Amino acid sequence: MGAYYDEIEIEDMAWDEEKGVFHYPCPCGDRFEITRKQLANYEDIATCPSCSLIIRVIYDPLDFEDEPPDDDEGVAPREEGDDDDDDDDDADSDEEGAFEGAMESLAISDRPRLVAATA
């Protein structure tokens, strides 16, 4: 994409803590916006929500590499030892027991068996 209205350095943009975006004035009267997560994902295009103009943001991607990925938005990661529900532990051990029982009853034979299936 080469039709940028302008190329702006990130240092020239203002950080809006409330909205969580960097912004820069647009000639239409609104503001170009880009999030830290977009910058962390190597997206360098800031858009104006009111018109079709876009700008290219000049920045160092390494400054944003510590941002969490987009797919974790709003979801706290679970740690292995972080169990809120004790019922899940019982369900997991039941599943493991069923799996072990199925493995013990599994018989492998050298002779092929004919199995009929109906639809």
10-62 confidence digits (pLDDT tens): 999 999 999 889 999 999 999 999 999 899 888 999 999 999 899 999 998 88
Residues 28-48 as b/e (b if ≥16 CB within 10 A, e otherwise) read eeebbbbbbbbbbeeebebeb
Report field, pTM of the whole predicted structure over 0.75:
no
Sort 57 into a burial class: Cβ within 10 Å, 0-12 / 13-18 / 19+: buried
What CATH number did the domain enclosing 47 receive? 3.10.660.10
- Residue 31: the pLDDT is 94
Evaluate whether residue 17 is within a structural domain: yes
Evaluate whether residue 105 is within a structural domain: no
